[in-house]
A and B are shown apart, each in its own frame.
Chain A
Amino acid sequence: MKIFITDGGSYSFFTAVFDAYSERECVITSDENVQMSFGNEIVNVGTDFEKCARVQKKIAACDPSAVDDILIVLRSRDNLKEQAAFEYIKRLIEKKSPISRAFNLPEVIIFDELKHKVTGEVHKMTGFLRFMESDSGAFYAPYSPDNDITDLLMPHFAARFREERFVIHDIGRKIAGIYDGHEWIMSYAGEAEVYLSEYETVFRTLWKKYYRAVNIKERPHEKQMKGYMPVRYWKFLPEKKDG
């Protein structure tokens, strides 16, 4: 069986789809730690823009919104994302018409779940992201999302903050979205050193006080709180930190 290994990017993925499509049995993955076994043939896939374009054109002919859906699924942290997208594409081309709501097909259910995990995390982060004001007046939000979503969050906050400069920093992936009050760009970002503004701790303290005061102590329901706001997100929430 052939195993197509992509570089993790979407161009490489669509190139791999082109090469893998005629194979009877094969796997596409970006996971370099894929299980090796005798009889498997490893193919490292680069980027071929012409192949990419042909694959995307074919997909779009079956369902105009499918390419966008696939680009969202490819942001998932799930190791099986490429394979799930590949299975979805194969089924889509077989059916020749949109299958995004064919919830009776296993490929669609798996693909749809991955997609919702990504879009769901984007929605959650529009709420759970926390900015701090630096002494330069720019706002800085470090976080560590499950999926690669920083550039999906940028338009939301750019529209909100409009004239305020801000940075959203994905600590785990070492990338950041930077907005200068007009435009935003994505950039590599390792460690960041941030000097806080004079009032930052004051508002942080007020927020913590507010959080404690608005809770109804007599009706504890921690399970529900953790269900809606998973513990792994807490380390960036001032209200969930001690002191």
Chain B
Amino acid sequence: MIDERKLEILTESAKYDVSCSSSGSGRTNRPGGLGNAAAGGICHSFTPDGRCISLLKILMSNECLYDCEYCPNRRSADVPRARLTPDEICELTINFYKRNYIEGLFLSSAVFDSPDKTMELLCETVTKLRKVYNFNGYIHVKGIPHSDSALMMKAAHAADRMSYNIELPSERSLKLLAPQKSKQSLLLPMRGLKEAIDYDRINKVRKNKVIPAGQTTQMIIGASPESDGQILKLTEALYRSMDLKRVYYSSYIPVVKSNKLPAVGAGLLREHRLYQADWLIRFYGFDVDEICAENENLSFDYDPKCAWALKNMQYFPVEINTAPLAMLLRVPGIGAKGAYKICEARKFGKLDFDNLAKMRIVLKRAKHFITCNGKFYGSDSIAQVKASLMLESGEESRTQLSMFSDSSTSLSALTGEL
């Protein structure tokens, strides 16, 4: 049986990892097996920080060879260390799963002994979970940079999702802050996984596909000087060239004292704005260039869609009853769901503001950018529009920043497996 204290140490070390989604895989159960995956993902609990628990998120070990500047588990740090065996992890996963505590396992590790040895044990764990424990629930496993590609492929056949973390938004910052890792050691395996996924798709492989839920990555924001524009460009390139499912951002918190790191944190608002921009790129048909120029940062005052709309008032107001879906998606305050509802509903008759309100379309921001049957209820003064949009953002930034302000007491935002 697993030791309570070990579980605590290895959970504490993993908790800052931002990805915990269990979506994207429709793995089915087998005779004699336990579990399956739900394509939409399932949240099993929520912690007091408002985040969801979907997977059992732990490190195999937090004993690390590397000395990444920002990481609390770096070799030179004085923190309690622990390591779990593959069987301990399997047993815990199975027993949590049977009680419906979790949707599956998110396994990661600090680099102990050697990259190959670490990857080998991660691989052994997930393969054992599938073959010996006959577990068919969701598995997300971290790839260890500089480890053998055969091990990576073995893990990819057992897992639903894998991720190699890009860590920092530029090669220069990586060299400065995580000198034992290199751009190539991260991008090469990502490319390898992409090619394996492509191979399965092209050859219509049905059984035993590699990572059906694809790959994701994660990077730290604000520990290095890159602008939001650069970060988003990189994000877009990763989506396009690597077919990533998600790029996660993790805002930097200054805990580790170092002259190579900034003294102040990036703040949750910056992270939030980047996610908003990321959503616009993936679901709303925006190009990065429209949202943020290469060397600029996103506005703190307005969300990126509002900021874009204010700069492009010539496109507005749009008529709700006739505007194409692509344009409805660009209206501040109307989300993907709202735009879909409007498109469906207007087939049955003309919509007025009352209809929109009943359909639960929030008009507070949208009213400045739309007409219904030619009627306009927004403000004609751009200054007034700006003021009303900004007021909201102002409130948001206050709460966001106050949540963040006591970061000095925080253990850290970043972990060894990043």
- Chain A: interface residue total (CB-CB under 8 A): 53
Question: At the interface, yes or no: B32 with Cβ under 8 Å from chain A?
Answer: yes
Question: At the interface, yes or no: A31 with Cβ under 8 Å from chain B?
Answer: no
Flag if A229 contacts B92 (CB, 8 Å). Answer: no
Q: Could you say which of A14-22, A73-81, A209-217 contacts chain B?
A: A209-217
Flag if A215 contacts B49 (CB, 8 Å). Answer: yes
Flag if A225 contacts B99 (CB, 8 Å). Answer: no
Question: At the interface, yes or no: A189 with Cβ under 8 Å from chain B?
Answer: no
Measured CA separation A225–B47 after assembly (Å) = 6
Given A102-B348, A239-B45, CB of A210 within 8 Å of CB of B50: no
Measured CA separation A204–B50 after assembly (Å) = 22
Q: Could you say which of A48-56, A60-68, A82-90, A131-139 contacts chain B?
A: A131-139
The chain B residue with its CB closest to the CB of A162 is: B29
Provide the residues of chain B in CB contact with A162, threshold 8 Å: 29, 31-34
Given A101-B345, A206-B92, A225-B47, CB of A214 within 8 Å of CB of B99: no
The chain B residue with its CB closest to the CB of A139 is: B98
B319 to chain A, nearest CB (A): 16
Measured CA separation A128–B38 after assembly (Å) = 15
Provide the residues of chain A in CB contact with B42, threshold 8 Å: 123, 126-127
Given A131-B100, A218-B407, A218-B410, CB of A203 within 8 Å of CB of B95: yes
The chain B residue with its CB closest to the CB of A157 is: B100
Flag if A127 contacts B49 (CB, 8 Å). Answer: no
Flag if A219 contacts B99 (CB, 8 Å). Answer: no
Flag if B15 contacts A214 (CB, 8 Å). Answer: yes
Given A109-B358, A127-B43, CB of A216 within 8 Å of CB of B99: no
Flag if A219 contacts B403 (CB, 8 Å). Answer: yes
Flag if A216 contacts B16 (CB, 8 Å). Answer: yes
Measured CA separation A199–B99 after assembly (Å) = 12
Question: At the interface, yes or no: A222 with Cβ under 8 Å from chain B?
Answer: yes
Question: At the interface, yes or no: A241 with Cβ under 8 Å from chain B?
Answer: no
Give the residues from 151 to 202 in chain A that come closer than 8 angstroms, CB to CB, to chain B: 157, 159-164, 199, 202
Flag if A161 contacts B49 (CB, 8 Å). Answer: no
Flag if B99 contacts A139 (CB, 8 Å). Answer: yes
Measured CA separation A199–B94 after assembly (Å) = 13
When A and B form their complex, what is the total count of cross-chain residue pairs whose Cβ atoms lie within 8 Å?
161
Flag if A219 contacts B12 (CB, 8 Å). Answer: no
Question: At the interface, yes or no: A243 with Cβ under 8 Å from chain B?
Answer: no
Given A109-B359, A216-B15, CB of A160 within 8 Å of CB of B99: no
Give the residues from 5 to 54 in chain B that come closer than 8 angstroms, CB to CB, to chain A: 7-8, 11-12, 14-16, 28-29, 31-36, 38, 40, 42-54
Flag if A213 contacts B11 (CB, 8 Å). Answer: yes
Measured CA separation A138–B14 after assembly (Å) = 32
Question: At the interface, yes or no: A105 with Cβ under 8 Å from chain B?
Answer: yes
Measured CA separation A141–B100 after assembly (Å) = 9
Given A126-B42, A202-B1, CB of A161 within 8 Å of CB of B351: no
B57 to chain A, nearest CB (A): 6
Flag if B99 contacts A203 (CB, 8 Å). Answer: yes
Interface residues on B, range: 35 or more
Provide the residues of chain B in CB contact with A105, threshold 8 Å: 348
Question: At the interface, yes or no: A118 with Cβ under 8 Å from chain B?
Answer: no
Question: At the interface, yes or no: A220 with Cβ under 8 Å from chain B?
Answer: yes
Q: Is the interface of B mostly helix, strand, loop or mixed?
A: loop
Measured CA separation A213–B47 after assembly (Å) = 10
Given A103-B341, A126-B38, A228-B52, CB of A221 within 8 Å of CB of B403: yes
Q: Which residue in A101, A132, A141 is a CB contact (below 8 Å) of B344?
A: A101
Flag if A159 contacts B29 (CB, 8 Å). Answer: yes
Question: At the interface, yes or no: B101 with Cβ under 8 Å from chain A?
Answer: yes
Q: Which residue in B8, B50, B101, B345 is a CB contact (below 8 Å) of A221?
A: B50
Question: At the interface, yes or no: B349 with Cβ under 8 Å from chain A?
Answer: yes
Measured CA separation A207–B11 after assembly (Å) = 11
Flag if B34 contacts A164 (CB, 8 Å). Answer: yes
A234 to chain B, nearest CB (A): 10
A233 to chain B, nearest CB (A): 10
Question: At the interface, yes or no: B113 with Cβ under 8 Å from chain A?
Answer: no
Measured CA separation A108–B75 after assembly (Å) = 61
Provide the residues of chain A in CB contact with B95, threshold 8 Å: 199, 203
Q: Which residue in A102, A127, A216 is a CB contact (below 8 Å) of B44?
A: A127
Give the residues from 319 to 363 in chain B that come closer than 8 angstroms, CB to CB, to chain A: 341, 344-349, 351, 355, 358-359
B206 to chain A, nearest CB (A): 19
Question: At the interface, yes or no: B132 with Cβ under 8 Å from chain A?
Answer: no
Measured CA separation A220–B46 after assembly (Å) = 12
Question: At the interface, yes or no: A237 with Cβ under 8 Å from chain B?
Answer: yes
Measured CA separation A163–B344 after assembly (Å) = 43
Given A109-B359, A210-B11, A213-B11, CB of A237 within 8 Å of CB of B45: yes
Flag if B410 contacts A216 (CB, 8 Å). Answer: yes
Measured CA separation A158–B411 after assembly (Å) = 42
Q: Which residue in B43, B99, B349 is a CB contact (below 8 Å) of A131?
A: B99
Provide the residues of chain B in CB contact with A220, threshold 8 Å: 48-49, 403
**Interface pairs (6), CB distance under 8 Å:** A163-B34, A203-B99, A211-B45, A213-B8, A213-B15, A221-B49
User: Apart from A206-B92, A219-B50, what 12 extra A-B contacts exist at CB < 8 Å?
Assistant: A101-B344, A102-B349, A127-B54, A139-B98, A162-B31, A209-B7, A215-B49, A216-B15, A216-B47, A219-B403, A221-B50, A225-B48
Binding site for A on B (CB under 8 A): 1-2, 4, 7-8, 11-12, 14-16, 28-29, 31-36, 38, 40, 42-54, 56-57, 92, 95-96, 98-101, 103, 137, 268, 341, 344-349, 351, 355, 358-359, 403-404, 406-407, 409-411
7 smallest CB-CB distances across A and B, nearest first, come from A224-B50, A221-B50, A213-B11, A103-B345, A218-B410, A101-B344, A215-B47
